[in-house]
Amino acid sequence: MEKFPSSRNNILERASVPKVEVEPEFVEFAPQEFIDNPLEYFEREGKNVKSGEIKYDEAGIVREDPTAVKDLPTWRNAVGAEIKTVGRRVNTAKGAVGESGDPFHEYKILERLARLGLPAAKPIAKAEQAGMHVIVMERIPGVRWSERDSLRLKESGYSDDDIAALMTEAEHKMSELEARFDEAGVIRGWKLKDMVFEVDVPNKKILSIVPTDWERTKILEKE
């Protein structure tokens, strides 16, 4: 579904009017503030997922930007159903996004993964405003790599060997996922730092891992 704010008389103002597309199942969840001004909503309401400084390459192109991915507020519909959201301000010069020339490359990857039944965040909305692009995805339940200290494994009685065994299990599950994605023609880098983990801390088990960060991903079309 597309929603557009009312048109402006001034050409420059019209150029900055956002174009927002929300997936049909999430239309009733999308806040009006996001529809009206997605960039402002992203910057004002979002909280950075990562810490650190913006990094540039030798050509001055942004390669790492901890302000580009933010946890957004929980979206709710009229009957109180909820969906937790995360947003990304697209770096159009980075990875497969830059190579494809499509600012919504990552969003389309998520749509394809949903059709293939592969584990990934659900795509929720995409927006274009004043030459900038934002995508909104489901926040995957679990613990990000950057949040792993919050598990307090040592305080839960884990030994160094227990922690090493948990890491080995996570790497094994990641290898299994890589094989599934490769079989489907979805090619990406595989690193634990790009995963979200569901951990059974008392029983010292990794229940599941789900990959994130799809901007460098490529799809191989099968014959």
Alpha helices in the chain (DSSP H): 11-15, 32-36, 38-45, 95-100, 105-116, 160-183
Mean pLDDT of the chain: 89
Q: Which two tokens stand for residue 116?
A: 């293939």
pLDDT tier at 156 (50, 70, 90 boundaries)?
very high
pLDDT tens for 14-31 read 557 899 999 999 999 999
Domain ranges of the chain: 2-138, 143-219
Q: Higher-confidence residue: 188 or 58? A: 188
pTM of the model: 0.86
Residues in a beta bridge with 87: 70, 136
Nearest residue to 122 via CA among 131, 132, 112: 112
Round to whole Å and give the CA distance between 148 and 21: 34
Round to whole Å and give the CA distance between 158 and 155: 7
Round to whole Å and give the CA distance between 155 and 182: 38
pLDDT tens for 106-155 read 999 999 999 999 999 999 999 999 999 999 999 999 999 999 999 999 99
pLDDT tens for 71-110 read 999 999 999 999 999 999 998 877 777 778 899 999 999 9
Grouping H, G, I as helix, E, B as strand and the rest as coil, residue 55 is: strand
**Residue 10 scores a pLDDT above 70:** no
pLDDT tens for 160-213 read 999 999 999 999 999 999 999 999 999 999 999 999 999 999 999 999 999 999
Round to whole Å and give the CA distance between 52 and 129: 26
Q: 39 phi and psi, to 5 degrees?
A: -65, -45
Residues in a beta bridge with 20: 3, 127
Q: pLDDT value at position 13?
A: 54
Q: Which two tokens stand for residue 104?
A: 């919504």
Q: What sign has the CA pseudo-torsion 107, 108, 114, 117?
A: negative
The CA-atom distances, in angstroms, between 23 and each of 26, 47, 80 are 5, 23, 18
